[in-house]
Structure formats: C-alpha cells, structure tokens
Amino acid sequence: MKIVVIGGTGLIGSPLVNMLQQRGHEALAASPSKGVNAVTGEGLAAALAGADVVVDVANSPSFDDEPVMNFFEASTRNLLAAEAAAGVKNHVALSVVGTERLPSSGYFRAKMKQETLIKAGPIPYTIVRATQFFEFVASISYSGGNGPVVHLPTALMQPIAAGDVSTALAEIAVQPPVNGMVEIGGPEKFKMFEIVRRALEASGDGREVVGDPNATYFGAPLDDKSLVADDGSLLGPTRYEEWLSRGAAAK
C-alpha cells in the first residue's frame, strides 16, 4: 500500500513514516523540505501518483488567526483536489479534540474549517482528533504571560504522548475510512495549571504556576470538557510520569 504522509518530516509524521515502512508499506514523507507543499500545491501531483492513502499531519507555522486559517483552508483544498485526480481512496487527517468547543480560538476555527472541507469533499476519510501532546505542555505556559508568575486555567486536559499519536495513526491509516471521527487522548486527566507546573519543574524552569479559574487558553475560555476526549475514545498507553522519567520534557 502506498501511503503519503503530508507533514511527514515532523514530530508526528517522521515516526509515522518509519512505522509504516517497517510494516512493509510504501510510505512517502511529503513536506516543503522534500519539495511537496500542500499550501501552494507544489509537488502534490507527483507525490500522490499511485497513492492509496494520504495522511495529513501538517501544521501551520503560524497560529495567528488569518495565517492559520489560510494554511488549513488552502492545504486541504489542494490535497482533496490532488487526491481526486490521483484516485486516492482514503484521506486521514489529524485534528484536535474539542475543535467545535472553542470557537473563540482562531486555531480551533481553522481546524474546524479543515474538518468541514474534508467532510464535504470527494474522498472517503477518517478524521483523527487528538488531545494536546505532552511535548507541548510546557509551551502552554506562555499563554499565561511571560512574567515570573504564570496564571493558567484550572480546567481539565488529557494530554497524550506524540509517539502514541503516531502509533494510532499507523493503525488507522491502513484501515478502511470511517467517514467520521476517531478521538484519541492520554490515559490521565490533569488540571492544566498542575501539569504545566510539573513540566516546568522537570525542565528547570523556575516560573511559578498559579491556577486561575478565569485564565484562558491562548485567549479561549475553558471548562472541564473543552480539551478532554469523549467517553469511549482511544487512549494512548504512555503515562505522563513515565514520559517525564525519560527526560523528554527537558529535551
């Protein structure tokens, strides 16, 4: 099976390509550094020739409202058109748990646009919604300010190891499309301020982290369901303390 991974040189895509190749598939890493740019359309036709499945794990280089919307809208439209021309039979896209719950977030609005285009498009699909990655927990601290004291929401989140997301995608990519959503989250739930505090401690960051019920997540208000996977969702096996023990947060 030929599987093209858009964003195949990144955090999720690189191990995904390796896993698929190890399982005997013809997996191609497609990214601007490889001459394939989904936003402009450059190299798409050649990369998708003969492909059975496309897995889109690419992310916008900017999270500002207009650029992130432009990124996901342009890349998704170009991918769906190129897939239709190439006869691709399955479009798998990585999205975010809670997309429809945070309309005040420009990033989440852009992901919702991506999902809407896929649902309305001509290609059978599976949209995989994942919770926030362990690898990005420390960076959430900057949504609480740049000073010595960081104010973060007390709402729950259910983060997952990026490696567990890649593993799940490797399984989903070779299954028939469900023409719907699959959600995946971590095995544990944490209050946001508590897990960010733990991440900063592990990385040697001395800033104080304070729980604030009125604090926002990059400008978006949260409740305990905003960033938590639905009941019955797939769960990654890696626990946060296990991940920290590997020194992953310090990296």
3-state class percentages of the chain: helix first, strand second, coil last, to nearest 5: 40, 20, 40
Query: In terms of Cα–Cα distance, which of 143, 116, 113, 111 is closest to 130?
Result: 111
Note whether 54 and 86 are within 8 A (CB): no
Note whether 217 and 143 are within 8 A (CB): yes
Q: Which residues of the chain have pLDDT under 70?
A: 248-251
What pLDDT, on the 0 to 100 scale, is given for residue 246?
A: 85
Q: Could you tell me the CATH number of the domain that includes residue 203?
A: 3.40.50.720
Q: What is the pLDDT of residues 178-188, one digit of tens each?
A: 999 999 999 99
In a domain, 250, yes or no: no
Q: What is the pLDDT of residues 13-64, one digit of tens each?
A: 999 999 999 999 999 999 999 999 999 999 999 999 999 999 999 999 998 9
In a domain, 251, yes or no: no
For residues 165 and 180, give the distance between their C-alpha atoms in angstroms, rounded to a whole number: 18
Instruction: Count up the domains in the chain and report the number.
Output: 1
| Whole-number Cα distances in Å, 225 to 43, 55, 156, 215, 221 | 40, 27, 7, 16, 11
In terms of residue numbers, what domain contains 31?
2-245
Note whether 229 and 131 are within 8 A (CB): yes
The model carries a pTM of 0.95
For residues 71 and 57, give the distance between their C-alpha atoms in angstroms, rounded to a whole number: 13
What pLDDT, on the 0 to 100 scale, is given for residue 110?
A: 97
Tokens 């769960």 map to which residue? 235
Tokens 């960081």 map to which residue? 150
What pLDDT, on the 0 to 100 scale, is given for residue 249?
A: 54
Could you please report the per-residue DSSP string of 120-159?
HSSS-EEEEEE--BGGGTGGGGGGG-SSSEEEE--SEE--
| Torsion sign, CA atoms 190, 184, 144, 195 | positive
Say which amino acid occupies 163.
G
Note whether 77 and 121 are within 8 A (CB): no
In a domain, 129, yes or no: yes
What pLDDT, on the 0 to 100 scale, is given for residue 174?
A: 98
For residues 183 and 9, give the distance between their C-alpha atoms in angstroms, rounded to a whole number: 23
Note whether 122 and 77 are within 8 A (CB): no
Note whether 88 and 125 are within 8 A (CB): no
